[in-house]
Amino acid sequence: MLPAEQATAPRLLRVVGLSQANRTPVLTDPATRVLHDQFSLSSERDLKCAGRLALLYRFFHATRSFVPFGAMASIARRVMPLLCDRAAPAGSTASDIGKIVHAVESKTGWANCYPRALLTAGLATAAGRECTLVIGQLAPTRKMHAWCSIDGEVPYEPSPEHYLYQPLWMLTLRPEARR
């Protein structure tokens, strides 16, 4: 856990896109289990929009050092239906979304929690599902991890060890209203 002076530092709050008014002293992880890991899924998957989703995954990763996570979450929620409206059709389950995220990571050839969490959130909201983005810290280290939970389940983590991380920040995203 971060000491109070570090957890409330303006620089950290800016990086994650929070104000001091949103601070909660103790956060509970909304995820109770991981549905899929790298060993439970085959990388063989015919994925619609795979190229576009892989580009979006790379874009999320590229912006991690200069765009606040909260702002990127909002972008993911808005962009996903425009970029690839059939990737996660309405009614897709958390398991379906996990399989898509795994396929995208297989296509890009590397895995990272930051773009994975944002891609999962974008796919969830595009499918009409509410989700919660979480950033946690591996105490007592400075190692951070991001994940996305849908109905208490993390759709995909290559190594299902998010439970080792103490949540520091959470953001619930709801699907955009259809016009």
Task: Determine the pLDDT at residue 35.
Answer: 85
Task: Determine the pLDDT at residue 168.
Answer: 85
Domain positions in the chain: 4-173
State which residues of the chain have pLDDT below 70.
1-4, 7-8, 16-26, 42-49, 85, 177-179
Task: Determine the pLDDT at residue 179.
Answer: 46
Task: Determine the pLDDT at residue 58.
Answer: 93
Determine whether 124 is exposed, middle or buried from the number of CB atoms within 10 Å of its CB (0-12, 13-18, 19+): buried
Alpha-carbon gap, residue 151 to 108, rounded angstroms = 27
Task: Determine the pLDDT at residue 85.
Answer: 65
Alpha-carbon gap, residue 91 to 88, rounded angstroms = 8
Task: Determine the pLDDT at residue 178.
Answer: 55
CA distances from 9 to 3, 14, 18, 31, 89 (A): 10, 9, 11, 27, 40
Q: Taking the complete model, does pTM exceed 0.95, yes or no? A: no
Orientation of helix 69-83 relative to helix 50-62, angle to 10°: 160
